[in-house]
Chain A
Amino acid sequence: MAQHESDSLITTEVSAAETARSEIPDETVLRAEELDVYYGEEQALDDVTIEIPDRKVTAIIGPSGCGKSTFLRCINRMNDQIPSCRVDGSLAFQGKDVYDEDVDPVALRRKIGMVFQKPNPFPKSIRDNVAYGLTVQGKTENVDERVEESLRAAALWDEVNDQLDSSGLDLSGGQQQRLCIARAIAPDPEVILMDEPTSALDPVAASKIEDLIADLAEEYTVVIVTHNMQQAARISDKTAVFLTGGNLVEYDDTATIFEDPEHDRVEDYITGKFG
């Protein structure tokens, strides 16, 4: 197997922004240690240990059902909503275990925003959608400026600035997803989790979001789940490969994962031989 020939695997085109980011030394913002997650009897994550760097894009790839979404939901404790879900091990955000007794999940989620696979704008106006996080978090100053800033950051402002009062549901799918991104960044979180944010979109809309993610990484830590290898290769600095059974098999710089992975199973997965 020609592991060292980069053309046998997906090539990583490195953007200027990414090169700039790679200069910054890694500082861990999220650290999972021996993380196990169960849904009732069924184990969805098995002994996951990973350190996610600040202000980088970390991609999570792997076959369906390997626990990518589960891992993401652990980070901002969205799986608190699932009654059968149980978490063992530790997951620290800025050094503090988010499963400690004294952690308020509501406060945690104000630091860690999330964008979902299916665009889910509220049936409210575009402005109210973006302002929602600010409102519930009691950040009532300069709301209009924050809304504009966030819509600009989500590359949506030029398309919607004359219709801020119309419903968020009247936008196209790609615009809705950017609206959801604007909504997530408006309250200025530290981390943004994205669960297959482009899988419901056409390639043009998807590539807009990809560009956006590269920009977001200058200010935010981005953790993105994707099924699209090219996408992971294009936009991420680090890549984590989960394989069936909820195991984190390999975690490294994106270039290494795609050009010279340590495990044959990872290479097989990336080249589409299985999964």
Chain B
Amino acid sequence: MSTETDPNSGITGGDADAHRRRDRRIRRLLFGCTSITVLTTVAIFAVLFDNTFNFFYDVRFHEWLIGLVTEFRLFPEQRVAITEFLFDTEWRPSHADDPRFGILPLAAGTLLVTVGAAFVSIPIGTATALYLSEYARPRTRKYLKPTLEVLAGVPTIVYGFFALTFITPNIIAPVAAAFGYDVGRFSALSGAIVVGIMTIPMVASISEDAMSSVPDELRNGAYALGASKFSVSTSVVLPASISGVMASYILAVSRAIGETMAVALAAGVTPRLTTNPLAEIQTMTAFMVDSTRSTMLVGSVEYQSLFAVGLALFIMTLAANLVNDYVKRSYREVYR
């Protein structure tokens, strides 16, 4: 093709339409793939909501809607009061005479493990990130960063097993005994520690990414003012990367809220409204695994309670994600 004499050559031409059509096809294909995740999320929420309705009332939500339209059946019969679900302090869905459905003990169990885990993962994860980003030699970092990522990929049941067979008998039990306390096979503390350990790599890795993207000009500016490495790390790098660091904390927390196998193995299966970390508890997720394995009548209140707990869990993680978004926006990385 000659480009020197013909001014039109190469930039016009009959291919334009074909290119446009192909772009459109590809865009539709990619959109199709994207919509799978969106549809799944919507479907999960719909199923949870539909069945949760059936926990509180004697019909599912869509059945009620149909009834409303065809037979003007306005008020479904209540099975569990929303106030009981939210405020009752007992969770004993399979009790023969007096079943009670207060989510507080389960939510408290989840909260206890999550907060405890945050006390482990946030300080250790942040310190690890600071070390990797500011102190470690490039060679050390080259080997440590992938190790962290491997640790993040270990199946959580392995962590649970580790808690059950190692952390509780070898660490928690002797320390508690030294202070005159008795711990059983399961404890909230054990769950908190193991979930904390499990989420350290996530905090460390994401925070480290945020810290290493702080431009060197800022570090140099601080060094030139006679700042020590520690001041540079804590008073320049950390604040400058705070949005990424906070995001890592919130991800770790929502991971802890949703964590299942490790807490089921480590923290136990006894719903209990307590703040005692040495007690056996049950988290929302652990209840769900535990009861899907037992025999229940589909449609029974006990069975439907699974969905109610699931929906509550969904809302909690969603809230964590919204907080994450908010934090990201309000602490945006301003130096760019």
Contact = CB atoms under 8 A, between A and B. Distances in A.
Interface of A: 76, 78, 81, 83, 106-110, 113-114, 116, 118, 120-124, 132-133, 135-137, 167, 169, 180, 183-184, 187
B242 to A, nearest CB: 9
B34 interface: no
Given A76-B224, A109-B225, A122-B239, 4 more contacts: A123-B218, A132-B225, A167-B334, A183-B225
A169 B228 contact: no
A78 B227 contact: no
A116 B225 contact: no
Interface string B204-234: 0000000000010111111111111001000
Interface of B is mostly: helix
Contacts of B240: 122-123
B228 A106 contact: yes
A78 B239 contact: no
A81 B335 contact: no
B115 interface: no
Contact of B220 (A81, A83, A106, A184): A81
A136 B221 contact: no
Given A81-B220, A120-B221, A132-B222, A106 B334 contact: no
Interface string B230-272: 0100011001100000000000000000000000000000000
A78 B217 contact: no
Nearest to B216: A81
A81 B224 CA distance: 11
Nearest to B240: A123
Interface size class of B (residues with CB under 8 A): 20 to 34
A81 B221 CA distance: 12
A123 B335 contact: yes
A78 B223 contact: yes
Given A123-B239, A124-B239, A136-B235, A113 B222 contact: no
B221 A137 contact: no
Contacts of A169: 334-335
Q: Point out which of A76, A106, A169, A187 has the most chain B C-beta atoms below 10 A from its C-beta.
A: A106
Given A120-B217, A123-B334, A169-B335, A106 B226 contact: yes
Q: Of B138, B220, B221, B226, which is in contact with the most chain A CB atoms at under 10 Å from its CB? A: B226
A117 to B, nearest CB: 9
Contacts of B223: 78, 81, 109
Interface string B112-152: 00000000000000000000000000100000000000000
Given A106-B226, A183-B225, A120 B334 contact: no
Nearest to B332: A123
Nearest to B227: A136
A116 B222 contact: no
